Structures are given as C-alpha cells and as structure tokens.
Amino acid sequence: MDVILFLPIGGDIDWIEKTSIFTRPGEWPIYGVSLREIIQKEYDVAYLYNDMWLGVPELRSGVSVVERLDIDAIYISELIWGLPSEIYSLIDEVISLDNFVLKYGRMVVGWRGVGNEEIDISSYGLELIDRPWKVITILKNKLSSLLIELVNRFGFEKLENNVYVRGESRISDRAFIDASEGMVVIEDGVVIEPFTYIKGPAYISRGSKLLGGKLSNCIIGPTSKIGCEVDTSIIFGYSNAAHHGYIGHSAIGYWVNIGAGTVFSDLKNTYGMVRQWLSKDKREETGMIKLGSYIGDHVKTGVLTSIYGGSLIGWSSHVLHHASGYVPPLTILDGLRGETIDIKIEKAIEIAKRMYGRRGVRWLEMETQLWRRRAHQS
C-alpha cells in the first residue's frame, strides 16, 4: 500500500465528531471529488481504522482499511487540502524516503518509518482543514484553480466555453450557465431544470438535481436537490434544499433537509468579523467578514428558519425558527421559545432509515451500532 489516510489525534478537531457521522473526512467532496479519489488516481490508498466511524465509510466506498501500522507505508492526514498537483508533488517527493515526519505548524500530519526528518507541508502549498471555516476559505480562494486541474485529470469533456461535463446529464435550454469568471463542471446524471442560474466556478456532482435556484462559487455533492440560492458554500451530499431560501458561506453535511424559507446569515449588520462556535463554551476568531454556518449530517431545519453566522449544528439535530451558536448532536432546538429537547437515538435512526430509503441507499446494520455508540459518547 502506497498511502494510508488517517485522522490525526488532537489539534482541537472535536467539531468533526460533533457534526460528521455518515463518512470520514477523506471521503468529503471538498475537491468536488474526495481526497481519497484524488490520491487514488496515482497511488494505492487505504484508511487507518478509526473508532469514530467503526469502518462504515470504508465499507460503503470499498476502500481497504488497515488496523496495524505498516512501517513501509506513507501516512497522510485526511484533513490536508491542496491542489491535486501540490498533493502529487509532495507524495512524489517523499515516496523515495524511508523515514520522515510531515508537519503543519506544530501538528504531525503524516510520516513514514521511525525517522524524525521534518517536512513542512505548507512549503508545497498544502494546508490543513483543522477548523470548520477553512472549508469556506478554500472555496473562496481555490475553487477556480481546483476545477482547472480536475477537468484535465478526471476525464471531463468540454460542452461549451468553460463548461465541462462527464457522462450523461439533462440540462434545460432555459437554464443559464455563466462561466465567464470560472469553470462550471457537471458530473454524470445531473438534472438542471428551467430557470436555474449557475455562475462559475461551480462543481455539480453526480445525480444531483438543480430545481431553478441561483448558484455561485459552490460545490454541490452527490444526489442532492437544490432549488434555493447558494453562494460560496458546499453541500456534502444526499441533502435537500429544494425550496426558496439562502445558503451563504456555509458547509451543509450529508442527508440534511433544509426547510422552505431557511436562511443562513453570513454577514453581521456591523460588517464585523464573524466568530465560529466550536462547542457550548468555545468560539474562535475566523478573520472572516462573511461566514455562514457549519451544519452536521442528518440535520433538519423547519420552514422559515434563520441560522446566524458562525453557528455549529451537531449531527441529527432539528432546528426550528432560529438558531445562533452551538447546537449539540441529537437535539431539537426551538429558537422561538428558547427550548431544547433531546432526540432519542432510536427515533433518530428510524428517521435516517426513512431518508435512506427515499434515495435508494441501504442502511447498514453496522450503522446502527455506530449511531448508538456516538449517542452514548455525546
């Protein structure tokens, strides 16, 4: 095995466990495709087993999982981000070395063997997604450059000027695609209905349906239904935002349902910097004037819900009316009354199974074990 992806310990990444239950970061579509797919184009890839997911993502993706350390393999954090060319440049450089440690600041993000030769990944242009808002800064600063590399490496064909497709999609002649400021890349099985407006750069993943909304500077993950305005945001996959609303500078997890009229605020009335909540008692400066929220997997929002910038909503929570700050996993928040109710884990599993069935996805018995374990931990 050439490369083994792992999730680093420490570095204050508890926000991942609070928000992500469907799959691990190496599978997130933050490249349009995933980090694992990027590396797998050139090298053999496996995952290092992690109790946080009990092997469920590896089972779904068909990727090998290893439980013991291999002194000959290259270990790389699945939280690194860079252009594909930068990632390949790093691996090509270190693959002939027997002993090294990859660092990002003071954090170990990779290694091989037992040596202590330190290599700073930032010297290759790479960074680390160690905070939720970093996903948005990448979209803002790197999406155009990323798409140029993707179309060359992943077999996309030119449909028209700066618009690229792969496979068969259905694009209405009444949809409008503006690729004058960035590529628009469309995967197989996408449906783009009349009066949809897409302004590049944008990446639309396989099987997604665009139902007449306005999209710009965004990644829409697989099998999602989008009919609202989406700006500088990522929808991880299998999520619905089919009705009028606004998602700005936000990350929306897997299997999320956004109720009609939901608005994700991304700008303070004071035009000041938005701080990001990471837990009940902790929020951090982001240095960003425009920042929405980070929404965990299986979250549901009620109709006409307002979610204030910098919020972090835990997995399988329900938000009604409005939300600001941190909402723990498995919580119903009624923002109008200021009340919270815990969601029973068996009820949450029942709801998730229903949603899986609507998309033709099989629920794995191991997922039941995973959900119960995570509920106990939270």
pLDDT digits (tens, 9 = 90+) for 250-275: 999 999 999 999 999 999 999 999 99
Rounded Cα distance between 178 and 164, Å, is 12
pLDDT of residue 225: 98
Same domain, residue pair 307 and 325: yes
- Whether residue 48 contacts residue 63, with contact meaning beta carbons closer than 8 Å, is answered with no
Residue 172 forms part of a structural domain: yes
Same domain, residue pair 306 and 191: yes
What pLDDT, in 10s, does the model give residues 132-162?
999 999 999 999 999 999 999 999 999 999 9
Which residues make Cβ contacts (< 8 Å) with residue 323, sequence separation at least 6?
Answer: 305, 306, 307, 308, 311, 313, 333, 335
Same domain, residue pair 180 and 315: yes
Residue 182 forms part of a structural domain: yes
Q: What pLDDT band is residue 106 in, cutting at 50, 70 and 90?
A: confident
Q: Which of 128, 155, 185 is the last residue of a domain?
A: 128
Q: What pLDDT band is residue 102 in, cutting at 50, 70 and 90?
A: very high
Residue 293 forms part of a structural domain: yes
Rounded Cα distance between 308 and 104, Å, is 31
Tokens 């060319």, located at residue: 85
Residue 367 forms part of a structural domain: no
Same domain, residue pair 291 and 171: yes
Q: Which of 99, 128, 157 is the last residue of a domain?
A: 128
**CA–CA distances in Å: residue 335 to residues 58, 77, 139, 283, 305:** 37, 37, 30, 19, 9
Same domain, residue pair 332 and 265: yes
pLDDT of residue 318: 98
Same domain, residue pair 77 and 138: no
pLDDT of residue 11: 62
Rounded Cα distance between 171 and 186, Å, is 10
Q: Above 90 in pLDDT, residue 305? A: yes
Residue 355 forms part of a structural domain: no
Same domain, residue pair 122 and 150: no
121 three-state secondary structure: helix
| pLDDT, mean of residues 108-129 | 92
Number of domains in the chain: 2
Domain of 206? 134-343
pLDDT of residue 114: 80
The predicted model scores a pTM of 0.96
Rounded Cα distance between 345 and 122, Å, is 41
Rounded Cα distance between 182 and 144, Å, is 6
Which residues make Cβ contacts (< 8 Å) with residue 62, sequence separation at least 6?
Answer: none
Residue 366 forms part of a structural domain: no
What pLDDT, in 10s, does the model give residues 15-24?
999 999 999 9
| pLDDT, mean of residues 110-114 | 91
Q: Above 80 in pLDDT, residue 116? A: no
Residue 59 CB burial class (10 angstroms; 0-12, 13-18, ≥19): middle
Q: Above 90 in pLDDT, residue 49? A: yes
What pLDDT, in 10s, does the model give residues 319-378?
999 999 999 999 999 999 999 999 999 999 999 999 999 999 999 999 999 999 999 987
Residue 52 forms part of a structural domain: yes
- Whether residue 361 contacts residue 238, with contact meaning beta carbons closer than 8 Å, is answered with yes
Which residues make Cβ contacts (< 8 Å) with residue 259, sequence separation at least 6?
Answer: 243, 245, 300, 301, 302, 303, 304, 305
Rounded Cα distance between 119 and 109, Å, is 10
Rounded Cα distance between 276 and 309, Å, is 8
Residue 74 forms part of a structural domain: yes
Rounded Cα distance between 224 and 222, Å, is 6
Reading the block at residue 171, the tokens are 């694009």
Same domain, residue pair 36 and 148: no
Same domain, residue pair 144 and 57: no
Same domain, residue pair 192 and 255: yes
Rounded to the nearest integer, the mean pLDDT of the chain is 95
Q: Which of 128, 158, 192 is the last residue of a domain?
A: 128
Rounded Cα distance between 98 and 43, Å, is 17
Same domain, residue pair 268 and 120: no
Same domain, residue pair 105 and 169: no
Question: What CATH number corresponds to the domain at position 237?
Answer: 2.160.10.10
Across 244-361, the runs of DSSP E, i.e. the strands, are: 246-248, 251-254, 257-258, 263-264, 274-279, 282-288, 294-295, 300-301, 306-307, 312-313, 318-320, 322-323, 326-327, 331-334, 339-342
* Residue among 2, 7, 4 at smallest CA distance from 79: 7
